[in-house]
């Protein structure tokens, strides 16, 4: 593959998107589904990587800082951690272990505590397309780390949402004004 781009679909799980999710963005997150689905298919058809950095936790983990901030969410093996809606089936149909991949992350940023940067550099990827939830938490922290690692960042406005609309709008400005990200 010669593409130098990758799509990161961040935390698009039932707990963050479904009505009964424990930390849901609700309708704002649900409204992203078709946009993310179309982007994933387009990127896949062009030979780009479509990777799913996905939050994973243990219930009541005394060593994890989020335990004090949020209700238990995205526990391994639960309905809450499954990909939301049609993306679950899309992932299962396209998961070839290389071009489409889901990997665990335990912090807000997809880079923190993972080998994401190494995998991207090995494949000479220099441009990251970011979608998912929450705009002002996990997408933001991933974008900040991508910026600090000198990746070109493209945020798909129709592919990000938060349970905090003010935070969502602030993050969109921050992506553009402080990280030099392209907002499309």
Count the domains in the chain. 1
- N-to-C CA span, the chain: 25
Range of the domain at 82: 5-183
Quickly state the pLDDT bin for 153 (edges 50, 70, 90): very high
Predicted pLDDT at 88: 97
**pTM for the model:** 0.94
As given in the structure block, the two tokens for residue 115 are 């080998």
CATH number at residue 163: 3.40.50.850
Each residue's pLDDT tens digit, 16-75: 999 999 999 999 999 999 999 999 999 999 999 999 999 998 888 777 778 777 778 888
Query: Which backbone phi and psi does 36 adopt, to 5 degrees?
Result: -65, -40
* Averaged pLDDT for residues 64-92: 89
Report pLDDT for 2: 45
Residue 141 has pLDDT above 90, yes or no: yes
Q: Is 60 exceeded by the pLDDT of residue 144?
A: yes
């Amino acid at each position: 593959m010669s593409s130098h781009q990758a799509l990161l679909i961040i935390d698009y799980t039932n707990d963050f998107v479904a009505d009964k999710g424990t930390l849901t963005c609700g309708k704002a997150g649900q409204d992203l589904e078709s946009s993310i689905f179309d982007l994933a298919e387009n990127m896949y058809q062009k030979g780009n990587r479509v990777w799913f950095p996905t939050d994973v936790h243990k219930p009541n983990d005394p060593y994890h800082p989020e335990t004090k901030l949020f209700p238990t969410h995205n526990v391994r093996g639960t309905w809450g951690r499954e990909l939301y809606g049609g993306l679950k089936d899309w992932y299962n149909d396209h998961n070839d272990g290389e071009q489409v991949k889901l990997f665990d992350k335990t912090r807000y940023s997809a880079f923190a505590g993972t080998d994401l940067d190494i995998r991207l550099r090995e494949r000479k990827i220099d441009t990251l397309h970011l979608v998912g939830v929450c705009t002002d938490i996990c997408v933001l922290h991933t974008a900040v780390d991508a910026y600090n690692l000198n990746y070109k960042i493209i945020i798909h406005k129709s592919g990000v949402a938060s349970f905090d609309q003010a935070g969502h709008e602030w993050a969109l400005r921050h992506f553009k004004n402080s990280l030099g990200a392209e907002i499309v």
